[in-house]
Amino acid sequence: MSRLIVLIVALAMSVVACGSPGSVTEIEGEKLFKGTVLAGSAGCITCHSLAPDKDLVGPSMAGIGVRAGTRQPGVTGADYIRKSIVSPDAFVVPGFDPKMPDNWGELLTGAEIDALVDYLLTVTQ
């Protein structure tokens, strides 16, 4: 019986370590994204929808987890999303004026940015 418990605990730890869907950082990133206030400013969901073809002030984030890796040659999806958060003018989506505040890299911790990136990579539809 104790071997079974050890095996279950080991399996659970390996799943968490691999960043499985619903990992702590993804869950925290979702909370950050969906918050209407983030670091004392308007939260992501205020300007970015998760619904396909529903643009608000900024482009919809529906499918960003798939699109991000194809937007800029040689730039991974994670790097594209991270750079878009901390330097929003670096990659401006056609049809949108650069309006996103450029101080998110100062307002958010590195862990918060990582969590947002991890979450947005899971938004595939």
Look up the pTM and report it. Answer: 0.77
**22 band by pLDDT with thresholds 50, 70 and 90:** low
Classify the C-alpha dihedral 8-18-110-31 as positive or negative.
negative
Highest mean pLDDT among 10-14, 31-35, 37-41: 31-35
* Spatial distance between the Cα atoms of 1 and 41, rounded to a whole number of angstroms: 52
The CATH number of whichever domain residue 91 belongs to comes to 1.10.760.10
Picking from 59, 65, 73, the residue whose alpha carbon sits closest to that of residue 30 is: 65
| Owning domain of residue 70 | 22-122
Rounded to an integer, the average pLDDT of 76-91 is 95
Local structure of residue 38 (DSSP, 8 states) = E
Does any domain span residue 105?
yes
Exposed (0-12), middle (13-18) or buried (19+): which is 82, by Cβ within 10 Å?
A: buried
Please give the tally of structural domains in the chain.
Answer: 1
